Copies of this chain bind each other. A is one copy, B any other.
Amino acid sequence: LAGCATGGNMGTDPLPSWNDGASKQAIVDFVRDVTKEGSPNYVAPSQRIATFDNDGTLWVEQPIYTQFALMIAQLKAAKPRPEWVNNPTYKALMADDMKTAMAGGEKALLGLLFQANSGMSVDDYDKAIRQWFATARHPTLKRPYTELVYQPQLELLKYLRANGFKTFIVSGGTMEAMRPWAEEVYGIPPEQVVGSSQTIKYDVATGKLMREPSLFFLDDGPGKPVGINLHIGQRPILAFGNSDGDMHMLKYTTDGPGRRLGLIVHHDDAQREFAYDRQSSMGKLDKALDQAPANKWIVVSMKKDWKQVFPSAK
């Protein structure tokens, strides 16, 4: 009935890296329905908000979150503080023992990072992050991290924007680690990158924005709907995640009135990427997987639904 040429597997397929199947069909059907004037589920462009988790949803998060790789590099480069000597998280990080490092939770890790880069200006920190990304390589896949993004998701982001959607990142990671490259890589400008953040102060004497040693906002779990409200100010109509940290974002999104779409990347492809879910210390997918059927969230199989995982080498 809705015979437009924006979906399907014709020559004009906007999602060529998605295999035909229920997941791809659900996406195309949703987009057609909410963008078709006259449809009972029509949504005005200003309300076509789509939010994407970053780690494990838009790019690789194994064997450790990229933010942690960056953090370890920063902590190794930092002058060790006396109070860190007996800090179990610090000691584990220095020994590349991620299991112990993760035992204290995300807050312990971020707390350490924030101490390490407090007293730096926002501009200097931005430079340090850009420098790290320019040379860092993934330990097993051996490519720059910004090339380890998922090709099917790049196509999906573009397809949504071509259909009048605004695309946002809503990540547990910090905004400053994503904003320097998100526009070039994902087509998502800095103001559409939502994430965790460190307390920042404006130093009136020097005119510089300075980093303080504390967490300002944790954009994870039940913090994701709060971050969405703070930065976007509207309930999304589409949300895409991959772990229990996205469960509340998915619920908040699909709880709203009218047609909604919630999606989860299931990492089941040890051959081309990694296979993990309920037992993983990074991107644990357990409760959200259980709750997917009742909430009609689409579980996307990396193995079956994605024809290609990463962009071809340049």
Establish whether residues B183 and A233, one from each chain, have CB atoms under 8 Å apart when the complex forms.
Answer: no
Contact (Cβ within 8 A) A189 B226: no
CB pair A191–B226 under 8 Å, yes or no, is no
Instruction: Verify if A112 is at the interface (C-beta below 8 Å from B).
Output: no
Interface string of A150-193 (1 = CB under 8 A from B): 00000000000000001010000001100100010000011111
In Å, the complex CA distance between A217 and B182 comes to 26
Interface set of A (CB-CB < 8 Å, partner B) = 46, 122, 166, 168, 175-176, 179, 183, 189-193, 197, 200-202, 204, 207, 209, 216, 222-226, 229-234, 248, 251-252, 255
- In the assembled complex, which residues on chain B have CB atoms less than 8 Å from the CB atom of A234? 190-191
Copy number of this protein in the oligomer? 2
CB distance from A278 to the nearest CB of B (A): 20
Contact of A193 among B189, B209, B233 (CB under 8 A): B233
Task: List the 4 closest A-B pairs by CB distance, nearest first.
Answer: A190-B233, A202-B222, A202-B225, A179-B233
Chain B residues within 8 Å of A223, by CB: 202
Contacts of A202 in B (CB 8 A): 222-226, 248, 252
Cα of A67 to Cα of B259 in the assembled complex, Å: 34
State whether B207 touches A229 (Cβ < 8 A). Answer: no
CB-based contact B248/A204 at 8 Å = yes
Contact B191 A231, beta carbon cutoff 8 Å: yes
Q: A46-B183, A202-B226, A202-B252 are in contact. Are A191 and B190 (CB under 8 A)?
A: no
